[in-house]
Structure 1
Amino acid sequence: MRLISMRPAEIRVLTYNVRALRDDKAAVAGVIRACAPDVVCVQEAPCLLRWRHECAELARESGLVVITGGRPASGNLLLGSWRTKVIATRNARLTRTRGLDLHRSQPLLERRGLAMAVLKISGVRVGFVGLHLGLDAGERARHVAEVFGHVQLLRTAYQTEHLVLAGDVNELPHQYCWIRFCVRFVDCAAVAGRADELTFPAVMPDRRIDGIFASQGLQVVDCRVVDLPEVARASDHRPVLAVLRVPA
C-alpha cells in the first residue's frame, strides 16, 4: 500500500515516535515501508545497549538507511531512502533541565536533542531537523530558542534555504512552542486542511502533538496522519506523513 502519490520533484517526509520499539518492531517497520518516505524523523529511537544495531535494523527492515542520530541526538534518528544524497549531518544535545519534579520524584528530566542533516533531493539542498521536546513547558520554551539557533547554523554553514522541522512537540497547536514554530515555518497539516487529524495516543487519539513544519519555499502538497491497521499496535503515537514540492 502506498499512501499519497508522488511526482519527481516531491519529497515524502514522515515523523514517527516509535516508543523505543517497545511495542511491535515489525509493525513499526511495516508502517514506515507503507508510507514510502524519502526521509523519516524518528523520536524515541533506541539509545541503550546495542543502539546502533537496533537503529540499523529498523532502517533495514523499513527499506531505508541511517542518516544520523540515535544516542548522540537523545533518541532522535533520521532515516533516508536511495533518493537522498547526504551533504552533511549534525547531532546536538539541548541544555539540560535541573530541578525536582515533585510528581515524578526525579531530580533530573530526560535530556533532549536534535538530529540534523542537509540532503540533496532532486538537485536541491534541503535541511532536516528531527526533534522531541520535553514534558515541562518551561523547558520546551527554552529549547525552542535553542532549536532556532541550530537551524540558523545549519542554514549558514551549508547555504541551505529550505528546511523541514519534524517531531513530537509534546504540546497542542495553540500553545507557545507550536506557535513559535509557525512564525518561521508553516504547519504542514494545517496548510493541507488536516489540522483536525490527531496523533496521540495511537488508539482513539485525542490530541495533535506531532507535526511537520516546512520553510516557506517548500510547497505543501499534502499532509496527513497515517491510520493503517498496524499503527495501533506499533507505538503509542500515530505517524504524520507530508509530501512537499521542492522548487526547481
Structure 2
Amino acid sequence: MTIRIATYNVHGMRDSVPALGRVMTAARADVLCVQEAPRFGRWRAGRAALAAAAGLAVATPARTGGVAVLTGRRVRVLHAESHALRSFLGLERRGLAVAVVRAEGACLAVGSLHLDLHQAARMHHAAEAMAIMERVAARHDAAIVLAGDINERAHQPAWRYLAGRLADCYAVAPEGDGLTFPADRPSARIDAVFAARGASVLSCGGVDAPGADLAGASDHLPVAAELRLGH
C-alpha cells in the first residue's frame, strides 16, 4: 500500500481557519505532522477541532513546542509520546511529538518537529530529535519518518544533518518547485519530510489546493510525501 505523510506549519491558526481546513483536507494525509498547533487556553479543544476539519484525530498527548501528529482512519496508532527538547536561555521552548503507526503490516515512527531560528539551537535540537526517533523506532521495530518546519534551507547544517541520516523525500522524488515559505510568494524550501532510506518515496511536493486558500491559510505551505510500504 501507499501512505501519505504531510507536514504543515499552521501559524497558530491565526489566519483563515476555513481555508486552513480546506488545505488540510486537500493534503489527503494519512499522517499529518503539525507545527504551531494551539498550545494555550483550550488547546486540546483547538487541536481536536483542527484535526476534525480534515477528518483526522490527534494522536500525540502534549502541547510542548506547539507540535502534534494527526492521524487518519487508514492507520492505527500503536504508541504516542511527546518530548520537550533542551531549553536555551531566551529562546522558545521546542518539542518533538512522535506517533508510532501501523498500516497494513508496516510500522512507522512519525515525528513532528519545529526547529528554532537560532542556528546553534537548530543543530542541537535536530540531533536530539534524531536520537529520540531512533530509540522509539528501535523499541517498535519501526521505520523513521521525521517531518516539520526546519527553519533553514537544504545547504545549511541542521538540514544537512537530517538528510545525512534520513532521505529528504523531495530530493528523492520531487513534485513541483518544492518552495514552502512565505505562502503568498514562496521563495524558500524550509519545510520537509525525511524518511528512512529504505522507504520507497513515490512523490513529494505541495498540495493541490486553490492558491487563495494556500495563501490565506498560513504563512507556510504544506508538504506531502507519498511512500510505498511493503514489497
State if a TM-score over 0.5 links the two structures: yes
Q: Which runs of 4+ in 1 moved over 4 A?
A: none
**1:60 equivalent in structure 2:** 52
CA distance in 2, matches of 1:155, 1:182: 17
Which of 207, 218, 224 does residue 235 from structure 1 map onto?
Answer: 218
- Residues 98-157 of structure 1 show CA distances to partners (whole Å, capped at 9, x for unaligned) of 1xxxxxxxxx21100000011001211111010000000011111122112101210222
Matching residue's letter, 2:149: D
> Deviation string for 1:58-105 (max 9, x for gaps)?
11111111111551x31101111111111111100100001xxxxxxx
Report the equivalent of 2:173.
192
- Give matches, 1:29-178, under 5 Å: 29-71=21-63, 73-98=64-89, 108-160=90-142, 162-178=143-159
Q: Which stretches in structure 2 are left out of the alignment for 5+ residues?
A: none
Report the equivalent of 1:6: none
TM-score, normalisation: structure 2: 0.96
- Residue 238 of structure 1: SS of its match in structure 2? coil
1:184: Cα distance to partner?
Answer: 1.1
The CA distance in 1 between the partners of 2:149 and 2:134, in whole Å, is 21
Secondary structure of 1:199 counterpart:
coil
Query: Structure 1 residue 14 and structure 2 residue 16: aligned?
Result: no
Number of residues paired by the alignment? 229
- Cα separation, 2, equivalents of 1:64 and 1:201: 26
Query: Are residue 226 (structure 1) and residue 203 (structure 2) matched?
Result: no
Query: For the structure 1 residues 96 and 25, does the alpha-carbon distance in structure 2 shift closer, same or farther, using more than 3 Å as the test?
Result: same
CA contact (8 A) 2:177 2:205 kept: no
Distance 1:77 1:197 in 2: 23
The residue that corresponds to 2:227 in the other structure is 244
Q: Deviations over 1:32-65 (max 9, x none)?
A: 1112110000000000000000000111111111
On the 8 A contact 1:127/1:164 being kept in 2, the answer is yes
Contact 1:65–1:80 (8 Å) recurs in 2: yes
**Structure 1, unaligned runs of 5 or more:** 1-8, 99-107
**Percent of aligned positions with the same letter in both sequences?**
42
Which protein has the larger Cα radius of gyration, Structure 1 or Structure 2?
Answer: 1
Superposed CA RMSD: 1.3
